[in-house]
Amino acid sequence: MIWPFKPRPSKQIARIEITGAIASETRKYVLNALETVKEKKFPALLLRIDSPGGTVGDSQEIYEALKRLQDKVKIVASFGNISASGGVYIGMGAQHIMANPGTITGSIGVILRGNNLERLLDKVGVSFKVIKSGPYKDILAFDRELTDEEQHILQEMIDVSYQQFVTTVAQGRNLDVDKVKTFADGRIFTGQQALELGVVDRLGTEEDARVWAAELAGLNPDKATCYDIEEPKPLLSRVLSRNQSKSKLGTAINWLEFELKTNGQPLWLYRP
């Protein structure tokens, strides 16, 4: 016999999945999903993260929203194949973190890249005339090298962003800032190493994380099911995105789009 009534949210675990590079679309989806968790009064949230990281501001907004939710919801983050850089930052918004032993994580740091096409432009005979209001308005211009002053300005900005990252990890994991800096140099490490460093609490699968979330919320792990909060999409978009995600070309196009959108931005992103 099929029970005609759906389980009440108070007896379920909300589940939000973050995949791919973190940018504005991810932020919008996750913030809306967290509002649903709050409105429906789910007692626990399983946050599945499988991401190499992404933009600084979007990661920070997701983290802050998770922190605000902590007073009302038990949050367990489950690190998947990869949860690095901005993925780690978001994970700090959960009270508890679980990773697989072989999860790729870490890459705590900041990166900013620009392109210098000066020699190529010289070969084809292309040059630019720039009129600007200040000496640094065309910083990271692709037709010339950075000046020493520009490099100093950008390095200061990266250092501030890095310090924010380190401080958040230290606070989220109850670690000393100096301790975090010993492994927050951009290196990646496994879930097993992350456990030894104090970045995660336990090793286990997503199912293990679900059981843990149920126990923390006082639910019966054998009966507490997950309620997936997915990004609403029209049927055509779902079909197209599903087909595109299966192709290497589609993946390459998605990454190229991300690269173009974030060119010249500081990123919390693992770049293999």
Catalytic amino acids? 85, 137
CA distance 272 to 175: 27
Q: How many helices (H) does the chain have, and how many strands (E)?
A: 10, 10
CA distance 15 to 77: 10
CA distances from 116 to 122, 134, 193, 271 (A): 12, 21, 37, 19
CA distance 267 to 108: 11
Q: 3-class DSSP state for residue 254?
A: helix
Can you list the pairs that 136-142 forms with residues at least 24 positions away whose Cβ atoms lie under 8 Å?
Answer: 140/114, 140/264, 142/114, 142/115, 142/116, 142/117
Judged by phi (left if over 0) then psi (alpha if -120 to 50, else beta), residue 233 lies in beta
Q: Which is it for strands 104-106 and 188-190: parallel, antiparallel or unpaired?
A: antiparallel
Which residue, among 28, 43, 29, 39, has the nearest Cα to 76 in the 3D structure?
Answer: 43
Phi, psi of 222 (to 5 degrees): -75, -20
Residue 78's H or E segment, with its range, is strand 74-84
Token digits for 21? 């590079």
